[in-house]
Chains A and B, each alone.
Chain A
Amino acid sequence: GAGVSQTPSNKVTEKGKYVELRCDPISGHTALYWYRQSLGQGPEFLIYFQGTGAADDSGLPNDRFFAVRPEGSVSTLKIQRTERGDSAVYLCASSSGYTDTQYFGPGTRLTVL
């Protein structure tokens, strides 16, 4: 499709498990962003990629969170030893450049039981 896609759309896991969330950006977009959105809140910045490298990971809450973008396209957000507080919608966005409009995907709703 033409937009940002995210898989899975929903993920339910147990406390302590490892999860991976995938983002397929718009083809040709060099910038990719991950956000976390808790219920009733706005999106909270996690990490920004320019190409393959993480240009700004200042929003990652702790070292259980990690993201990669090995070929400068698809990105995976990885969460180790999940906690109930990690439950949220994880949004991915991409843009064609540093100052350009960010286009958001539909998000992955993560529920940690």
Chain B
Amino acid sequence: GQQLNQSPQSMFIQEGEDVSMNCTSSSIFNTWLWYKQDPGEGPVLLIALYKAGELTSNGRLTAQFGITRKDSFLNISASIPSDVGIYFCAGQLDNYGQNFVFGPGTRLSVLP
């Protein structure tokens, strides 16, 4: 099936540092979503991107929809302890219906 790759797989950063993670695919997507999942909870939507090249911010988070429509990145500025969790990208394939393909996630740990 279709696959998304996320990098890095995990990262440890100091509180206050900026974070960057990305998501790539060999397929073209028409929507990119970024979610955060805390232990024992379902994913929560952070940012949605609908157009190639789109750059969108949500507080300290910024995400971009790649021009090729095959990648996206998420940046977190000035990380805080509550940023800890797993970040998933998800894409909706072009003309593929209503289901979304999720990446394997990036696990973020923030050290005080």
Instruction: Enumerate chain A interface residues (CB-CB to B < 8 A).
Output: 4, 31, 33, 35, 40-45, 48, 50, 55-56, 58-59, 91, 93, 98, 101-107
Contact = CB atoms under 8 A, between A and B. Distances in A.
B99 A48 contact: yes
Interface of B: 4, 40-45, 48, 88, 90, 97-105
User: DSSP class of B's interface residues: helix, strand, loop or mixed?
Assistant: loop
A37 B103 CA distance: 11
B105 to A, nearest CB: 5
B45 A101 contact: yes
Contact of B43 (A31, A98, A104): A104
B104 A45 contact: no
20 contacts: A4-B42, A31-B98, A33-B98, A35-B102, A42-B4, A42-B88, A42-B90, A42-B102, A42-B104, A45-B100, A45-B101, A55-B97, A56-B97, A58-B99, A59-B99, A101-B45, A103-B45, A104-B42, A105-B42, A106-B40
